[in-house]
Amino acid sequence: DIQMTQSPSSLSASARDRVTITCRASQSIGSYLNWYQQKPGEAPNLLIFAASILQGGVPSRFSGSGSETDFTLTISSLQPEDVAIYYCQQSYSTPHTFGQGTQVEIK
């Protein structure tokens, strides 16, 4: 299985701060990388697929980049409604493993 490692595990930032979460794959996965947001008590929600393509309806403050083994999710201006856990997922080969998650909080 391909292992996905996210960092940091948690972060706390002020509203309007720029936030960056990284995800590293244990082997090259091209651009087969997705990002999900999970708010407390809710199902996950797809934010970005294929490393950098924003899912419809997702605010433009979210962006994704990277390829091969190193990927980044950026929130350009953190909003209170962005408090959530963020997961990366590789879809290069089954099983489509998730990272362990990054908890984002507001200071």
Partner 1 sequence: EVQLVQSGAEVKTPGESLKISCKGVGYTFSSYWIGWVRQMPGKGLEWMGIIYPGDSDTKYSPSFQGQVTMSVDKSISTAYLQWNSLKASDTAVYYCATCPEGAYQYLDVWGKGTTVTVSS
Residues that bind partner 1 (CB under 8 A): 1, 32, 34, 36, 38, 43-46, 49-50, 55, 85, 87, 89, 91, 94-101
**Least distance to partner 1, CB of residue 15, Å:** 26
Q: Which is nearer to partner 1, 16 or 95 (CB)?
A: 95
Q: Which is nearer to partner 1, 15 or 50 (CB)?
A: 50
CA–CA dist 81, 40 (Å, integer): 11
106, 11 Cβ separation under 8 angstroms: no
